[in-house]
Amino acid sequence: MAVTRRVLAACFALVALVAAGCSRESDADEAPPIDTAARDLGAASVQRDQVYAQRGTGALKLDLFLPAKRATPTPLIVYVHGGGWDAGVRALDADPAAPEALTAQRLLEHGYAVATVDYRLTGAAQYPAQVVDVADAVRWLQGRAGEWQLDADRVGLWGASAGGHLVSQLGALTGNPDKPGGGLTGVRAVVDWFGPADMSAEAEAAHPRMQEYARRVIKQLLGCMPVECPARAESASPIKNISGDEPPFLIQQGTADSLVPLDQSLDFARDLRKLGVTVEMHPYEGLDHGFGRGPHNTLIVDTVAAFVETHV
């Protein structure tokens, strides 16, 4: 019964996640534009609108924030935005009070370069385009490390919500170069903020009476419902792809998350640990999806900074 309840809870939350499109993964998405001069997060310089790939749907770009005080070569953190895979933008600096911006600023203060990247949304391409794009962005930065004095062998991946799913998938596939997005080198750590880890058919089967809008959103990502393509759904689920070759993971999520079930993160952390992977799992009492604003963000940012400094 306990397992059934957990699967039901996971599926109900997944329905809510896709019905909402994950578009509220952070209050930062709703912030008004601010003056460009205030959008550097304390960086010494920002290399904006760097085209890292051309697709049939257009150019994919990234922004690279370089710290004022740094060792050379400089370790790199790559941030991946949320938005339900069908929305969201890479501008983590759009709202300096958002937890994403606060974390990026702290990392810059500690001497890390921070990049934030585009990827194709589901209106343009289905999975695995998203993980392929982020992997290509990482490789593009590594290939140009000398231009900005970056350390291609000291890379951390960090993502929120749908972005948390993508970085977790890339982390899971570091030891499997034969899979889309797999085989990234130089990745020392993954920071997953409330990303869904399991999109398998098992979760859908537990609650088949899904809203039609939710069904359409799932199909936008996978091109099918999980019960119609269980192998494809599992291939897109980080928890189904881990091997023990993963870098250390930090998973942070609120216990009151109304979109992604906390059980998914707990199970993901458990299964990684069983394979001998270093994992820190931090549930935050009473926090919803996106963390919001408040004094709790100091602890969240401190935790990320300490984890990154230990592993990257």
pLDDT one-digit tens code per residue, 58-102: 999 999 999 999 989 999 999 999 999 999 999 988 889 999 999
Task: Give me the pLDDT at residue 36, please.
Answer: 47
For residue 177, give the CATH number of its domain.
Answer: 3.40.50.1820
Closest CA to 76 of 133, 25, 142, 5: 142
Query: How high is the mean pLDDT of the chain?
Result: 87
- Give me 180's structure tokens: 């889309």
Query: With 90 as the cut, is the pLDDT of residue 204 above it?
Result: no
Q: How would you label 158-183 residue by residue, b for 16+ Cβ within 10 Å and e otherwise?
A: bbbbbbbbbbbbbbbbbbeeeebbbe
Residue 198: give the domain boundaries.
2-311
Q: pLDDT per residue over 167-184, tens digit each? A: 999 999 999 999 999 999
Distance CA 236, CA 23 (A): 20
Instruction: Report the number of distinct structural domains present in the chain.
Output: 1
Q: Residue 152 corresponds to which tokens in the numbers above?
A: 């291609």
| Residue 93: predicted pLDDT | 85
pLDDT given for residue 227 in this prediction: 83
pLDDT the model gives residue 203: 65
First to last CA, the chain: 41
Which of these ranges, 32-36, 247-251, 284-288, has the smallest mean pLDDT?
A: 32-36
pLDDT higher at 263 or 192: 192
Confidence of residue 258 (pLDDT cuts 50, 70, 90): confident
Helix H or strand E encompassing 54: strand 45-55
Which pLDDT belongs to residue 219? 81
Task: Enumerate the H helices of 21-154 as residue ranges.
Answer: 99-109, 129-143, 145-148
Nearest alpha-carbon partner for 113 in 80, 73, 165, 83: 73
Given a cut of 70, whether residue 120 has pLDDT beyond it is yes
pLDDT at 197 over 70: yes
Give this prediction's pTM. 0.88
